[in-house]
Amino acid sequence: MVGTAYVYKKHTCIADHITVGDAETAHQMTLYEAASRKVQSELQHLEGETDEQAEILQTHISFLTDEELAEEIRTEILKNSKCAQWAVESVYGQVIETLEASSDPVFKERIADITDVRNQLLMELRGESSTGLEALSRPVILVAEELLPSDTIAMDPSKILGIVTERGGVTAHMAVIAKSMAIPAVAGIPRIADAVAPGTELVLDGQTGIVYSEPDPAILDEYEKKIQKYSRKRQIEKEYLAKPACTSDGVRIETKVNLGSTDERELAAAACSDGVGLFRSEFLYMNTDHLPTEEEQFTAYKAALEALAPRPVTLRTMDIGADKQLPYLSLPHEENPALGMRALRLCFEKREVFRTQLRAACRAAVYGNLQVMFPMVSSVTDVIRARQVLAEVARELSDEGLPFRADFPVGVMVEVPSLALMAHQIAGQVDFASIGTNDLIQYLLAADRDNPEMAAYYQSFHPAVFRAIHMIIGGFSAQGKPVSVCGELGSDPQSVPILLGLGLRTLSVSPARLGEIKYRIAGMGMAQMEQMAQAVLAMSSQEEVTAYLEQNLSPSDTD
Ligand code: PEP
Ligand code: MG
């Protein structure tokens, strides 16, 4: 990205330290409560552009509504006679200190959020106005020491060509939000906010993390060409997005999307797809403080089904447990949660929770083309048990005389390697399979998908992954049952020819990749894909596979 620098120096909030007399404490309490309500309502009115932003806003609101924090501030004001500003500064300051002392990266990431909420409260109490980032008049490259979540949410993405910061890493909010808004960002460049003068010409390479200040003409020329190439690519992807996906020799490939909510943006993204191949129902359980009721679930499923009809929506039943915990559903501590009480196993344990979800699904099925699939299935017995619960729920709804359907296709997610080995037997019990490569790879290669230290072992292009997929397709195809992939591997352009060459005819991808994946599908004929898939099956390491793909895919497939 090429542009001029806008150096953003954040105004630091300094609190007044005033000891107040007894007569004044009630007034200070009122000031604090009013400020807290005001910031809360401002946050509620800020609609996050993306899911990531909406989640951050929710986190900030949760600090403001946190009873313990509010109680501590009350004590500081009423018992320790501090003015409201001072009380906010000390209580939030203590939390920040505790988080800073922690070695847990998740806790550390919360520092930016809590600092942000503290600053907003202090600004409100001091009657100071906000950052000014929302008032940028022309597109710039934003240079800052650090961007807090509220800065990134306030800014208009069409005015930000790129972001460079001194602090923050790839997992920092700034990076996550910038990625979700497709803004190139580079973090971790020391002293950049002092080194760059406002208006300096910059080249920012979000892929390599290099920033050139006042670049020489050769660099400028190189990057202008890159930018042109990138925008041509985006244009082509946009054109392909609207068309059905076909290989260059005319084999039609179903391209569905993975959805994690029913908000308008997500549903709009599904408009150019052949349906929803993975509807992650967990969002209903996670963005709330209670188990979603049958009515709440029914409303959400019905909305998705009606929006997509007549295209299918594949509802994955609750995949809670392991990395996805619910604060209101206390689950016992486990030494190995990824191998423990999660997803379908938890549904068997909490049968009422499972039954509620299936009742809502059966009732919503009347409004569109529903398919239901179960996650973390590890045996034929699991499938039989799950289907029994479904049959029981259908009998009950019929007795109650409520409108419902239970004749929809029922499938499994193949995430546990045992299912690959038993594909033929499982196929006999269900209508379809969807391969969850994110978990399948973790279990197949015994490498934790969430542990960055294990990244070198979590090999998506390990030949064993393709062999397992080959086995699954073989077992299901022999019985005429469809198979798709809904894990991230299906959204990786490099893996597309291999997956299709192995026999897949349906991919379910993240909505942001849909155009790109359709474009890649169109770039090759089936005979060549099959030949590549056979070659990959015979290989012995990920290195061999990736070297082969680099040689055999055109540069635009590998960049
Ligand atoms: C998967 O495991 O591939 C999958 C799609 O499910 P999740 O990423 O939600 O576990
Ligand atoms: Mg999974």
- Band of pLDDT at residue 493, cut at 50, 70 and 90: very high
| pLDDT tens-place string over residues 379-420 | 999 999 999 999 999 999 999 999 999 999 999 999 999 999
Question: Higher confidence at residue 440 or residue 62?
Answer: 440
| pLDDT tens-place string over residues 212-257 | 999 999 999 999 998 898 888 889 888 999 999 999 999 999 999 9
Closest of 416, 451, 452 to residue 436, by C-alpha: 416
Active-site residues: which are they? 173, 486
The pLDDT of residue 424 is 97
The pLDDT of residue 517 is 95
Ligand 1 centroid distance, CA of 471 (Å) = 19
| pLDDT tens-place string over residues 423-436 | 999 999 999 999 99
Contact between 435 and 484 (Cβ < 8 Å):
yes
Average pLDDT over all residues of the chain: 90
Number of alpha carbons in the 13 Å side-chain half-sphere of residue 534: 6
Indicate if the alpha-carbon torsion angle 317, 289, 304, 398 is positive or negative: positive
Query: Which residue's structure tokens are 């973090």?
Result: 187
- Residue 319 CB less than 6 A away from ligand 1: yes
Ligand 2 centroid distance, CA of 449 (Å) = 10
How would you class 380 by CB atoms within 10 Å of its CB: exposed for 0-12, middle for 13-18, buried for 19 or more? middle
Return residues with CB closer than 5 A to ligand 2 (ion): 415, 436, 439
Closest of 363, 364, 385, 383 to residue 373, by C-alpha: 383
- 554 pLDDT more than 80: no
- Residue 437 CB less than 6 A away from ligand 1: yes
